[in-house]
Amino acid sequence: MTHSTEPTKVSILGKENIVVDYNLWGTYIVHDLLTNVPSATYILITDTNLHDKYVPSFEASFSDVVAQRRSNARLLSYQIPPGETSKSRVTKADIEDWLLSDERDPPCDTKSVIIALGGGVIGDMIGLVAATFKRGVRFVQVPTSLLAMVDSSIGGKTAIDTPAGKNLIGAFWQPSKIYIDLNFLNTLPTREFINGMAEVIK
C-alpha cells in the first residue's frame, strides 16, 4: 500500500532514523532501504512464527521494487525458532555460520545490511550478530511487539543470554533505521499488548 502522506520520523542521535506509520512493511521499507541504507545484499532474519506471515510478501515487494529501480540488490532470508531459548550463543553461531557459508554467493560482506523482524528476542539477538559479524555491519530494526517498539529496538542495546543469566554478553550497536509499523499491533494477543503498555507507563 502506498502512502498519501509522509510517515512520522523521529530524530535520534541527530538523524531521523525512527519511522512510524501504518503500512510500512513492504514497499515503503524496500524503497527507503535502497535509498537511505543502500547495499547489494540485505538479509532478513525473523523467527518461524513470523516467517510465513510476513516474509513472502516482503520478498515479493522487494522483487518488484528492485525491478522497477533496475537495482542489482538481493534479499536473503533466515529464520530461527521463536522464544527466549533462541537468544543464545548456539543460535548466534548458527546464524553466523549460515552467513559465512559458501552457499551465500556472492558472500555476505561488510557492506551487507541485516533486517531484524520480530520482538525483543529477535532485536537483541540479531543486533548482536550485526555488531560482531565482519567486525560490524549495518542493521535495521522492524519491531513487531509493543514492548520492542517502545524499548528494546531503541538505544542500540543488543545481547544474548548465558547459563549465568540474561543479557550478559552484548554490545551497543545502533540500528541504521527503526521502522515501527503500527499494523503489527493489530496482531498482538491482549496480554502482550498490556505488557507493552505497562512498560510505556513505567
The mean predicted confidence, pLDDT, of the chain is 92
One-letter-per-residue 3-state SS of 84-146 = HHHCCHHHHHHHHHHHHCCCCCCCCCCCCEEEEEECHHHHHHHHHHHHHHHHCCEEEEEECCH
pLDDT digits 0-9 by tens, 72-108: 999 999 999 999 999 999 999 999 999 999 999 999 9
More confidently predicted of 18 and 13 = 18
- CB 139 within 8 Å of CB 116: yes
Q: What is the pLDDT of residue 20?
A: 96
What kind and span of H or E run contains 12? strand 8-12
pTM, whole model, 2 decimals?
0.93
| Burial class, 6, CB count within 10 angstroms (exposed 0-12 / middle 13-18 / buried 19+) | exposed
Q: What is the pLDDT of residue 25?
A: 97
Mapped onto helix, strand or coil, the DSSP state of residue 53 is: helix
Does the pLDDT value for residue 1 go beyond 60? no
Residues 6+ apart with CB under 8 A from 15: none
Q: What is the pLDDT of residue 198?
A: 60
Quickly state the pLDDT bin for 190 (edges 50, 70, 90).
low
Quickly state the pLDDT bin for 187 (edges 50, 70, 90).
confident
Does the pLDDT value for residue 3 go beyond 70? no
User: Grid coordinates representing 136?
Assistant: 560490524
What kind and span of H or E run contains 55? helix 48-69
Helices 89-100, 120-132: inter-axial angle, 10-degree rounding: 50
Q: What is the pLDDT of residue 153?
A: 87
Mapped onto helix, strand or coil, the DSSP state of residue 65 is: helix
- Report the candidate in 120, 179, 174, 108 with the shortest Cα–Cα distance to residue 145: 120
pLDDT digits 0-9 by tens, 134-153: 999 999 999 999 989 988 88
